[in-house]
Amino acid sequence: MTDGRAAGRRRNDIGMRVYPLFIPHQGCPQRCVYCRQEAVAGMSTAPAPAAVPGMLDAMLPVRGDGEVAFFGGSFSALSAPLQEAYLRAVAPFLAAGRVAGIRVSTRPDACGPEAVERLRRHGVTTVELGCQSFSARVLTQSGRGHGPRDACGAASRLRAAGLRLGLQLMPGLPGADTREARRSLACALALRPDFLRLYPTVVLRHTLLEKWWRQGRYSPMPLLDAVALCAELLWRSRQAGVPVIRLGLQSSPELHGPDGIVAGPYHPAFGHLVKSYLWRRALDRLLTQGGCQPLAVHPSDVADVRGHRNGNLLYLQRRFGPVTIQVQERLERDGLRVGARLLNLWELARFPVIGRRGCPSFSVESPLEAGSGEHAKG
């Protein structure tokens, strides 16, 4: 589930500008139980290759170092002629220096040697794999049509071709639980991706998952549980040196409309909620241990420190009395000054070390199995 828009530009958390072109559901051999890309992207049809140059000419700068991104479908599962037509449409902009590369999203089982070589030969620089989970059982229940073996093989081939690798995970799929999310993350990190996206599963109208939800066969994660879980996954990813460039679906009128989200842990500022959770965890631990005040943070961290609607500040004041938060521009992002001490969010918010059974040596011979499946009924 990749969200994208056909106009405008984005800068992700690792500094790369991305210019998205959306090809909803194109190339996908079936529709997964949760999927309705038309609602996620806000459009139902893909542009023809002939329309791409005009779109890019209006979108791209005169000189740039970003990537044109084909999102929303399984690009490498398109017919070879159609792939090449789209990629040839971008080629003049690469040659002119208006963009530095091409990014595509695709399925792990659509990255065989020939497909990877075609992408590399036509200027693709980054591939995002929709792994979603590394549990064979969860992938089957979600109707993905591929298994963990495919993700491992695809990642290896993409790395060998010199392409940057992004992985997408969806905590809370049918049959999944917190244990599965942690182990899927560990397996994803073992594949040494350049970045991750985390999309907690939501229920979209007109999907099979909506039917299961209405029948009581599926229960989505509550929002607060999803925030807490993604905060832990974000922390563990950072400890591994892998940036998470997206948390939750991009807000759009379509998602908020009558044919959009009907249930699940969606919030238009989900990433803010996750970062705020980490700050609450960090400051709660600090003040419980007798940390002194006032507390000083970087100006860009103030909103996350105070929390959504000042929730963190109110929580800390109930527990510890008046709390003073000051601003110091000289501090680094995620830094914290307490008196004369300089501390760090990621150290204070630490989570317990957990085992990674099977994941460091994860291979095509050892697909991950899920845990107890607390989000599935029946």
Percent of the chain with pLDDT over 70: 88
pLDDT mean over 305-311: 96
Mean pLDDT of 333-358: 87
Domain of residue 326, residue span: 279-348
- Is residue 20 a part of any domain in this protein? yes
What's the pLDDT tens digit per position in 144-196? 999 999 999 999 999 999 999 999 999 999 999 999 999 999 999 999 999 99
Question: pLDDT tens digit string along 248-278?
Answer: 998 888 888 888 999 999 999 999 999 999 9
For 45-89, what is the HEC assignment? CCCCHHHHHHHHHHHCCCCCCCEEEEECCCHHHCCHHHHHHHHHH
- What pLDDT is attached to residue 177? 96
> Is 356 among the domain residues?
no
**Within a domain: residue 35?**
yes
Cβ pair 190, 362 in contact under 8 A: yes
Same domain, 158 and 40: yes
pLDDT higher than 80, residue 354: no
- 325 and 178 in one domain? no
Residue 352 has pLDDT above 50, yes or no: yes
Strands, E assignment, the chain: 10-11, 17-22, 67-71, 101-106, 124-132, 164-169, 195-198, 203-204, 244-247, 261-263, 295-297, 325-327, 335-338, 341-344
Higher-confidence residue of 11 and 348: namely 348
Which whole number is the average pLDDT over 50-59? Answer: 96
Q: How far apart are CA 367 and CA 143, in angstroms?
A: 17
Q: Which of 127-141, 199-213, 344-358 has the lowest mean pLDDT?
A: 344-358
Please count the structural domains in the chain.
2
CB 190 within 8 A of CB 182: no
Phi, psi of 71 (to 5 degrees): -110, 160
Tell me: pLDDT of 329 over 50: yes
227 with 317, same domain: the answer is no
Asked whether residue 368 is assigned to any structural domain, the reply reads no
Residue 306 lies in a domain: yes
Residue 369: inside a domain, yes or no? no
Express as a percent the part of the chain with pLDDT over 90: 78
pLDDT of residue 42: 52
- pLDDT, one tens digit per residue, over 99-112 is 999 999 999 999 99
295 and 245, same domain (yes or no):
no
Q: Looking at the domain assignment, is residue 95 inside a domain?
A: yes
Report the pLDDT value the prediction gives residue 234, as an integer from 0 to 100.
98
pLDDT of the residue at 45: 84
Tell me whether residue 205 is exposed, middle or buried, using C-beta atoms within 10 angstroms of its C-beta: 0 to 12, 13 to 18, 19 or more: middle
What is the signed CA dihedral for 177, 181, 186, 187, rounded to 10 degrees? 90
CA-CA-CA-CA torsion for 169, 25, 77, 106, nearest 10 degrees?
A: -20
230 in the same domain as 177: yes
Distance between CA atoms of 60 and 71, rounded to whole angstroms? Answer: 17
93 and 189 assigned to the same domain: yes
What is the model's pLDDT at position 356? 57
Whether pLDDT at 310 is above 50: yes
153 conformational bin, left if phi > 0, alpha if psi -120 to 50, beta if neither: alpha
At residue 69, φ and ψ (nearest 5 deg) are: -120, 125
Do 235 and 343 have their domain in common? no
pLDDT surpassing 90 at residue 219:
yes
304 and 284 within one domain: yes
Among 268, 299, 330, identify where a domain stops. 268
Q: How many whole angstroms separate alpha carbon 13 and alpha carbon 318?
A: 34
Same domain for 170 and 91: yes
Q: Which of 121, 129, 48 is nearest to 91 (CA)?
A: 121
**Residue 200 sits in a domain of what CATH number?**
3.20.20.70
Residues 289 and 263 placed together within one structural domain of the fold: no
pLDDT confidence of residue 357: 58
- For residue 71, being part of any structural domain is answered with yes
Q: Are residues 328 and 190 in the same domain?
A: no
Claim to verify: residue 21 and residue 56 sit in the same structural domain: yes
Q: Which of 4-8, 293-297, 334-338 has the lowest mean pLDDT?
A: 4-8
pLDDT at 255: 86
Average pLDDT of span 341-366: 71
